[in-house]
Amino acid sequence: MRVLITGGAGFIGSHLAERFINDGHTVQVLDNLSTGSIENIAHLKDHQGFTYNINSVAHEPLLAEMIDRADVVFHLAAAVGVKLIVEQPVHTIETNVHETEVVLKHASKNKKLVFIASTSEVYGKSTDVPFHEDSDVVLGPTIKHRWAYACSKLIDEFLALAYWKEKRLPVIITRLFNTVGPRQTGQYGMVLPTFVKQALSNQPISVFGDGSQSRSFTYVADVVEALVKLVGEPQAVGHVFNIGSTQEVTIAKLAERVRKLAGSNSPIHYIPYDQAYEVGFEDMPRRVADITKIKELVGFKPQVNLDEIINKVVDHFRKS
């Protein structure tokens, strides 16, 4: 199989590329390195069947050529991270919406299978937890830039499903719930690598808000396994799937577990949202996936629990 991964030098994309190369497939990566890193794919450069281009998805002639050479496109390129989203709302919206549009347009010419990486953020402020793919979404007002990311990813989903309905372009949408693991950085507000780096240097662990907000964290290899399973399942086409863990933890408890497993003496400091991000920032109180749909279709079940995930991330930072 010939695989194209946009954002393939990023955290998830590089792990996905590695998996397909190890399975004997050919892989093309397209990444502008805005949030990815060439170091993430350096170990793949000498593998036969692996190629990469440092460029933007918005470079349509190049994108069209790469899609023509692919059987399946994993569109992972996006503006990600709460910090980036709050600080650069124009970039967030333009990147997420326009680049998805051009991927779908060019894939549609030869009906190439497209995976759209969406996010649990699309559920917004809904309190109907755990979130199911058919659940209503509840976004905050447009004056809160925090919701621009969720809105842009919802547009991506609507557009992809429209291409499936109207043009019969095969698409699969995956909503990812806090994917974590080695190679993820805390540069744009990702909580686990930030906590681990702070703990290992015995700096204060910065918890935003009161720490009562809860999340479920999924190990990147489990996410990759889910994507590999879906690509081989024709019945997945035209559907939306949650990919996440059902193991819920508050951010305050996460900080405590990171401190303990890292053997750290770091104090835990609580920082109000308006100091961490912007005045009036709103957050999701809980974010937990209902994974019944993907489990019933392809047998997906996360294999790595939270303590194992933390230990793997700690080991990664100690070695880096």
Q: Which positions are annotated as active-site residues?
A: 149
Helices 148-167 and 89-108: crossing angle in degrees, nearest 10, is 10
SS3 state of residue 50: strand
Task: Evaluate whether 294 touches 222 at the Cβ level (below 8 Å).
Answer: no
> 34, exposed or middle or buried, with CB in 10 Å at 0-12, 13-18, 19+?
middle
Residue 70, both tokens: 């692919």
Residues 6+ apart with CB under 8 A from 50: 17, 21, 26, 27, 29, 41, 44
Opening angle at CA 148, ends 309 and 32, nearest 5 = 65
**Which position has the token pair 């080991």?**
315
Residue 135, both tokens: 């659940």
- Annotate 189-211 with DSSP letters as a single string: --HHHHHHHHHHTTPPEEEETTS
**Cis peptide preceding 130, ω within 30 of 0:** yes
